[in-house]
Structure 1
Amino acid sequence: MAAVLVAALLVFPGAVPNAVGRVGSLLETFLPWLGLAVPVLLALAARRRSAVALGAALVPLAAWCVLFAVPSLTHTDRPYDLTAVQHNVDDANPDPSGTARALLRARPDVIALEELTPAALPEYARALAAEYPHHATAGTVGLWSRHPLSDVRPLDIKPEGIPAGWQRGLRATARTPHGEVAVYVAHLPSVRIGAGGLRSAWRDESAGLLGAALDAEPLDRVILLGDLNGTLDDRGLRPVTAHVTGPRSRFAFSWPETFPLARIDHVLTREATVTDVWTLPATGSDHLPIGSRIRL
């Protein structure tokens, strides 16, 4: 019975309601880690020497492999046109210049940063200026590009209950050799996990505003880079994932840096494909940077 329940939760996490404590979203956030139940089930089956129990334990194992292992291990060597890096640099980062230099090693075409502070911004700008002559900032988010940027504007994704002055989004048009691409940078509000479950109301409201902006975007090709404070499985991000999609891999966990549990930093696209995603080495942030290759 336990094996069937684990398999059902893996395949149908949306069946778990969000009415109390947003338990459904909490499950979806850490869904890959549900696979840790499989070794326990296999050990219990071996201890009981039960072929039936062993067969039952193989059901969630198969489900986990199909959902997570196979997409992550499939390597297609597909061509790509752009490399992008997304990083929440942490507003308490002790080494902004070193962090910027670390991101440069990936040789990206575009870099999106969140949690930029007024004190640290000049350091990032100086470190990136030589290779990224085009850049834009809005509040605490920024975009650096090898390609010219135009039609740059702040993006209003502020939930109603947050005080004025909160600015965590921008939109720009990048003129790449492959045509114009709308590039969005967003940092959605944090979620909190406590005795009452998952608190994500502001994050969900902000996701709705971001989704509406993406829906209204006139350019066909879109790249969204940002710390969305949720995984792609989390139903709270559905207003966003209805308009942009991510890579097949569900790993490349980016947070927390000391023991990554989930990828809440994303590079998502419309009318383009993320062909690869990976984590870069740790910087002075509590997030790991995310690198990605994009086929336009």
Structure 2
Amino acid sequence: MIRNVMRDQGRGRFTAAAAVGLAAVMLLHAWIPNRPGNLGSLVQTLLPWTGLAVAPLLAAALVRRSRVARAAVLVPALVWAALFGPALVADHRAPAGAAADLTAVTHNADDANPDPAGTARALAASGAQLIAVEELVEPAAATYERVLAERYPYHYAHGTVGLWSRYPLTGTRPLPVMPLPRALRATAETPQGPVTVYVAHLPSVRVRAAGFTAGRRNAAALRLAGEVRTGPPGRALLLGDLNSSTRDDAVAPLLGGNGLRPAQEAAGAGLGFSWPAAFPVARIDQILFRGLSPVSAWTLPATSSDHLPVAASFRF
């Protein structure tokens, strides 16, 4: 019997070791160093997809007829279920309709969008009181202004980001968080009281031979966190394309001392992936909130952009 156990362990030792290693990556992703090449940030961005490795590991364990390997494969499967299972089984209904006091939408509309008018109409059809748009470029920017003007009489834009509102906007100002004009702040004067609204489009990231090029994004996120920290207290929303998942340590300064929370994690059904629109693999478009009670969070149907719009509703 001892010989059989040893033979079983020998057959499955590599599969078992790989399974334990995969579970360790899932559990300890926050400790994976970002040097070299921002590896930790890349792993955190793609963390939900680590579950795909469980299936080939299980197949290898079955082929090797190793009980040890089969048992080891259960470890990453259970860890993945603990991390992402609650989001998959959540029963948040979207949109929340009359149950919500405030609904916000954010959309990277794509500077090459061939149908800005149709995209603007789709955003307005969401019924949101606040709409943030990123990658506003001429002549499409004028189209968004024209199409949204009737339902959203209040509007403020800075560079390539803009905010449309059904409520008056006060305290509008650009935010100098990056060299390009891609961040702003405004206060929406809602019937229930003011809500500070930040709109931002953080720098893009790329996977290159040198690694995950996220340095400019990380620096901009840190400066944006400083703007939120020194901004008005109380209710706040951060809407935009952060080019980051909320599991990425790059946005930890935004979520930590500023009290902001991701609406998708608090009240969304599923993982809410938003990019690329044709086959979403990551949620890089975010709605973060503070001082509000989340009701629901969801993705809207695809427009002519390479991103999906995302929405969230709240109670005061």
- Counting matched residue pairs gives 290
Q: In 1, Cα distance between the equivalents of 2:114 and 2:160? A: 17
Q: In 2, Cα distance between the equivalents of 1:76 and 1:278? A: 9
Q: Is the aligned partner of 1:33 residue 2:49?
A: yes
State which drifts further: 271-280 or 18-27: 271-280
State which drifts further: 274-283 or 136-145: 274-283
Ranges in structure 2 where 5+ consecutive residues have no aligned partner: 1-16
Q: Name the counterpart of 1:173.
A: 187
Q: Name the counterpart of 2:206.
A: 192
Letter in 2 for 1:241: L
Q: Name the counterpart of 1:72.
A: 88
After TM superposition, give the deviation of residue 118 of structure 1 in Å.
Answer: 2.6
After TM superposition, give the deviation of residue 279 of structure 1 in Å.
Answer: 1.5
Q: 1:11 to 1:275 in 2, by over 3 A?
A: farther
Report the 3-state secondary structure (helix = DSSP H, G, I; strand = E; otherwise coil) of the residue aligned with 1:4.
helix
After TM superposition, give the deviation of residue 76 of structure 1 in Å.
Answer: 4.9
Which residues of 2 match residues 76-225 of structure 1 at below 5 A?
76=92, 79-158=99-178, 162=179, 166-225=180-239
Ranges in structure 1 where 5+ consecutive residues have no aligned partner: none
Q: Is the aligned partner of 1:50 residue 2:63?
A: no
Q: In 1, Cα distance between the equivalents of 2:286 and 2:136? A: 17
Q: In 1, Cα distance between the equivalents of 2:308 and 2:65? A: 43
- The CA RMSD measured in Å over matched residues stands at 1.5
Q: In 2, Cα distance between the equivalents of 1:141 and 1:3? A: 44
Q: Name the counterpart of 2:33.
A: 17
Q: Contact (CA 8 Å) 2:87, 2:271: kept in 1 or not?
A: no
Q: In 2, Cα distance between the equivalents of 1:76 and 1:190? A: 31
Report the 3-state secondary structure (helix = DSSP H, G, I; strand = E; otherwise coil) of the residue aligned with 1:102.
helix
After TM superposition, give the deviation of residue 273 of structure 1 in Å.
Answer: 3.7
The structure number with the bigger radius of gyration is: 2
Q: Contact (CA 8 Å) 1:88, 1:113: kept in 2 or not?
A: yes
Q: In 2, Cα distance between the equivalents of 1:292 and 1:209? A: 25
1:17-62, Cα deviation, whole Å (9 max, x unpaired): 1110010001001000001011112212222233322221111111
1:218-240, Cα deviation, whole Å (9 max, x unpaired): 23111000100111011111222
After TM superposition, give the deviation of residue 206 of structure 1 in Å.
Answer: 0.6
Q: Name the counterpart of 1:294.
A: 314
Q: In 2, Cα distance between the equivalents of 1:130 and 1:293? A: 22
Report the 3-state secondary structure (helix = DSSP H, G, I; strand = E; otherwise coil) of the residue aligned with 2:198.
strand
1:197-223, Cα deviation, whole Å (9 max, x unpaired): 111111111101100011112231110
Q: Name the counterpart of 2:300.
A: 280
Q: 1:56 to 1:295 in 2, by over 3 A?
A: farther
State which drifts further: 273-282 or 10-19: 273-282
Q: Is the aligned partner of 1:226 residue 2:246?
A: no
1:135-178, Cα deviation, whole Å (9 max, x unpaired): 111111000111111111111111xxx4xxx2001101111122
After TM superposition, where is structure 1 displaced by more than 6 Å over at least 4 residues in a row?
none
Report the 3-state secondary structure (helix = DSSP H, G, I; strand = E; otherwise coil) of the residue aligned with 2:261.
coil
Q: Name the counterpart of 2:23.
A: 7
Q: Name the counterpart of 2:8.
A: none
Q: In 2, Cα distance between the equivalents of 1:275 and 1:12? A: 31
Q: Is the aligned partner of 1:265 residue 2:285?
A: yes
Which structure: greater helix fraction? 2
- TM-score, structure 1 normalization: 0.94
Q: Contact (CA 8 Å) 2:92, 2:296: kept in 1 or not?
A: no
1:215-274, Cα deviation, whole Å (9 max, x unpaired): 112231110001001110111112222221103257111111222110100000112243
Q: Contact (CA 8 Å) 2:102, 2:315: kept in 1 or not?
A: yes
Q: In 2, Cα distance between the equivalents of 1:178 and 1:49? A: 63
Q: 1:201 to 1:221 in 2, by over 3 A?
A: same
Report the 3-state secondary structure (helix = DSSP H, G, I; strand = E; otherwise coil) of the residue aligned with 1:26.
helix
- TM-score, structure 2 normalization: 0.88
Q: Contact (CA 8 Å) 1:7, 1:60: kept in 2 or not?
A: yes
Q: In 2, Cα distance between the equivalents of 1:219 and 1:61? A: 42
Q: In 1, Cα distance between the equivalents of 2:290 and 2:127? A: 23
Report the 3-state secondary structure (helix = DSSP H, G, I; strand = E; otherwise coil) of the residue aligned with 2:243.
coil
